[in-house]
C-alpha cells in the first residue's frame, strides 16, 4: 500500500506571497499580498490571513473570520445530497402548476408571471435577523440557502427556470466560500481588466496571447518591451522566457514603477534574472550610464571584506544603507546589460503596449537597433495610433504588416438555452505586427 507524500512547502500558502482571492459566484478577483495578522475582505466576506497560512491553495470555507480548506469528499457528499431535493422540488412545482391550470378556465393559459403573489417581504417567512444569527453561529451558506427555500411561500409556484435562478441568486448572495489561488498571467489579466480596464489599456487576455504569438516569444529570446499595461506584457514575456533570455523593459523615471503584475507573480531568482529595466534617458544617452563613474562598492561576499569594513568605519553606513546600495548597483548592472543587448543588435523582438505615448517615438529610438528578421508587435486601444505606425513601418521596408481587431464574447451555456452573457466587457484594442528586413 502506497502512502501519499505530504504536499511540499511551495504548494502551501506562505506569508508574504501574492495570491488571487475570488468569492464563489462572485464578480470580483482581488490580488492580495498575504501578510501576518491581515484582514482579507472580498465581497462582504472577511477572514484573517493567518488562518490560510500552511494550507494548500484551492477552495476555502469562511466561518467566524476564519477560512478552512474544503475537502473533495465533502464536496462530493454535498453534490449527492443536492441532487435528490432538487428533483423532488422540480416534480412538486410541475404538480402545483398543473393543478392551478386545471382549476382555471381550460381556454385560458395562465403564465407563471401572471399569478398574484404577495410582496417579497411577506413571501419569505425567514426574517433577516434570523439569517444574520445563523451566520454568526457559523451556519454554512448552503444551509442558509436551504432555509430560505423552505421559508419561501412562492417557491413552489415558480417555473423550473425561475426556481433555478432563485437558488443561484441566493447562493451568490450568501456564499461563504472563496478560492485562494496562486497568481497566473490569465488570472491577473482577468482581475485587472474587470477592475479597471482603462489602466490596462483595454488589453484582454486573448489579445495578450496574440501579442506573445506574433512576437514569437519563447525560451532563450531577447525581447525589448515598452508598455503601459501595469507590467502585464512584461510579466507575460518573463514567464515565457522561463529563466533563459532577456526582457529589456524600457521605463520612465529612476526605477521601473507601475508594474504590479511583475511583483504579483512571485517569480523566483531564475525568472527575475531575465528582467532588465532600462531608463528612457539612458536609451537616449547611449551606452554611457549616468553616475556610472560614481558607483560605490556594495556589500557582497565576493568583494574584499577589509574594504567593506573600511567603508563602514569611515562613513558609518548602516545595514539598511548597504542593502539599498546593493540594490542600486544591481539595478545598474541590469541596466548596463539591457543597453548592451539593445545597441549590439541582439534583440529578436520588440513589443510596444501604448496607452498615452505615441509608439512612433519609441520606434524611432529602438527600430534601428533591432536584429534582422526581428518581430515587431504594437498594441494600442486607439486604431488611429496604429495607422500612423503602419505608415512609418511601411516606409522602412517592414514586411508582413497586419493590423488586427479581435472580438471576444463570453457565451452562457445552460440547459435548453445558450446565448452571449449579457453583462460583460467587450471593449478591446488593436494589434499591429510585422517583421524587420535589412537590405543586403
pLDDT in tens, 97-140: 344 334 434 443 434 444 444 444 456 666 676 666 666 666 66
Pairing of β 246-251 and β 275-279: parallel
* Mean pLDDT estimate for the chain: 79
Q: How far apart are CA 179 and CA 261, in angstroms?
A: 19
Read off the pLDDT band of 79 (50, 70, 90): low
pLDDT in tens, 31-46: 999 999 999 988 878 8
Of 214-228, 304-318, 331-345, minimum mean pLDDT range = 304-318
Read off the pLDDT band of 165 (50, 70, 90): confident
Q: Cell numbers 412562492 label which residue?
A: 154
Of 1-15, 357-371, 411-425, minimum mean pLDDT range = 1-15
Q: How far apart are CA 205 and CA 101, in angstroms?
A: 50
What pLDDT does residue 337 have? 93
What pLDDT does residue 65 have? 84
pLDDT in tens, 263-276: 999 999 999 999 99
Read off the pLDDT band of 153 (50, 70, 90): low
What pLDDT does residue 146 have? 72
Residues with Cβ within 8 Å of residue 87, at least 6 apart in sequence: none
pLDDT in tens, 389-420: 999 999 998 999 999 988 888 888 877 778 88
**Domain range annotation of the chain:** 91-174, 185-436
What pLDDT does residue 257 have? 86
pLDDT, greater one: 6 or 220: 220
Average pLDDT over residues 199-225: 94
Q: How far apart are CA 167 and CA 152, in angstroms?
A: 11
Secondary structure in 3-state letters for the chain: CCCCCCCCHHHECCCCCEEEEEECCCCCEEEEECCCCCEEEECCEEEEHHHCCCCECEEEEEECCEEEECCHHHHHHHHHHHHHHHHHHHHHHHHHHHHHHHHCCCCCCCCHHHCCCCCHHHHECCCHHHHHHHHHCCCCHHHHHHHHHHHECCCCCCCHHHHHHHHHHHHHHHCCEEEEECCCHHHHHHHHHHHCCCCCCCCCHHHHHHHHHHHCCCCCCEEEEEECCCCHHHHHHHHHHCCCCEEEEEECCCCCCCCHHHHCCCCCHHHHCCEEEEEHHHHHHCCCCCCCCCCCCCCCCCCCHHHHHHHHHHHCCCHHHHHHHHHHHHHHHHHHHHHHHHHCCCCCEEEEECCCCCHHHHHHHHHHHCCCCCEEEEEECCHHHHHHHHHHHHCCCCEEEEEECCCCCCEEEECCEEEECCCCCCCCCEEEEEECCCCC
Percentage of the chain modeled with pLDDT above 90: 46
pLDDT in tens, 276-298: 999 998 888 876 665 454 444 44
Average pLDDT over residues 358-387: 94
What pLDDT does residue 300 have? 40
Pairing of β 275-279 and β 66-69: unpaired
Pairing of β 39-42 and β 29-33: unpaired
Q: How far apart are CA 20 and CA 34, in angstroms?
A: 10
Q: What pTM was estimated for this model as a whole?
A: 0.77
Percentage of the chain modeled with pLDDT above 70: 72
Read off the pLDDT band of 381 (50, 70, 90): very high
Q: Does domain 185-436 have CATH number 3.40.50.150?
A: yes
Amino acid at each position: 500500500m502506497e502512502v501519499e507524500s505530504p504536499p511540499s512547502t511551495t504548494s502551501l500558502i506562505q506569508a508574504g506571497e501574492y495570491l488571487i482571492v475570488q468569492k464563489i459566484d462572485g464578480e470580483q478577483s482581488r490580488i492580495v499580498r498575504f501578510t501576518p495578522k491581515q484582514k482579507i475582505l472580498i465581497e462582504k466576506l472577511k477572514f484573517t490571513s493567518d488562518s490560510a497560512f500552511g494550507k494548500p491553495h484551492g477552495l476555502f470555507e469562511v466561518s467566524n473570520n476564519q477560512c478552512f480548506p474544503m475537502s473533495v469528499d465533502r464536496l462530493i457528499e454535498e453534490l449527492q445530497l443536492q441532487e435528490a431535493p432538487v428533483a423532488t422540488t422540480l416534480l412538486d412545482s410541475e404538480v402545483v402548476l398543473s393543478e392551478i391550470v386545471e382549476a382555471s378556465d381550460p381556454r385560458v393559459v395562465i403564465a407563471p408571471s401572471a399569478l398574484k403573489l404577495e410582496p417579497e417581504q411577506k413571501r419569505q417567512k425567514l426574517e433577516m435577523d434570523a439569517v444574520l444569527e445563523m451566520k454568526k453561529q457559523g451556519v454554512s451558506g448552503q444551509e442558509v440557502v436551504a432555509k430560505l427555500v423552505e421559508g419561501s411561500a412562492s417557491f413552489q409556484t415558480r417555473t423550473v427556470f425561475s426556481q433555478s435562478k432563485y437558488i443561484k441568486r441566493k447562493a451568490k448572495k450568501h456564499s461563504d466560500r472563496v478560492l485562494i489561488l496562486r497568481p497566473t498571467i490569465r488570472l491577473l489579466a482577468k482581475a485587472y481588466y474587470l477592475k479597471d480596464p482603462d489602466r490596462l489599456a483595454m488589453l484582454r487576455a486573448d489579445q495578450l496571447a496574440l501579442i506573445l504569438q506574433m512576437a514569437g516569444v519563447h525560451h532563450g529570446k531577447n525581447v525589448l518591451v515598452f508598455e503601459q499595461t501595469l507590467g502585464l506584457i512584461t510579466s507575460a514575456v518573463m514567464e515565457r522566457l522561463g529563466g533563459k533570455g532577456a526582457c529589456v523593459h524600457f521605463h520612465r523615471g529612476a526605477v521601473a514603477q507601475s508594474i504590479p503584475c511583475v511583483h504579483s507573480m512571485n517569480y523566483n531568482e531564475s525568472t527575475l534574472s531575465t528582467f532588465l529595466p532600462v531608463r528612457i534617458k539612458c536609451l537616449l544617452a547611449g551606452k554611457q550610464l549616468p553616475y556610472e563613474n560614481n558607483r560605490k562598492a556594495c556589500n557582497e561576499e565576493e568583494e574584499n571584506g577589509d574594504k567593506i569594513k573600511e567603508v563602514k568605519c569611515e562613513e558609518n553606513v548602516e545595514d539598511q544603507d548597504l542593502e539599498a546600495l546593493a540594490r542600486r548597483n544591481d539595478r545598474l548592472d541590469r541596466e548596463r546589460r539591457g543597453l548592451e543587448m539593445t545597441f549590439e543588435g541582439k534583440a529578436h523582438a520588440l513589443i510596444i503596449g501604448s496607452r498615452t505615448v505615441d509608439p512612433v517615438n519609441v520606434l524611432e529610438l529602438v527600430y534601428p537597433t533591432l536584429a534582422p528578421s526581428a518581430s515587431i508587435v504594437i498594441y494600442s486601444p486607439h486604431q488611429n495610433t496604429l495607422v500612423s505606425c503602419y505608415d512609418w513601418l511601411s516606409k522602412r521596408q517592414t514586411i508582413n504588416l497586419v493590423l488586427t481587431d479581435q472580438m471576444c464574447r463570453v457565451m452562457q451555456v445552460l440547459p435548453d438555452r445558450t446565448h452571449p452573457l449579457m453583462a460583460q466587457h467587450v471593449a478591446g484594442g488593436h494589434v499591429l505586427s510585422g517583421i524587420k528586413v535589412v537590405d543586403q
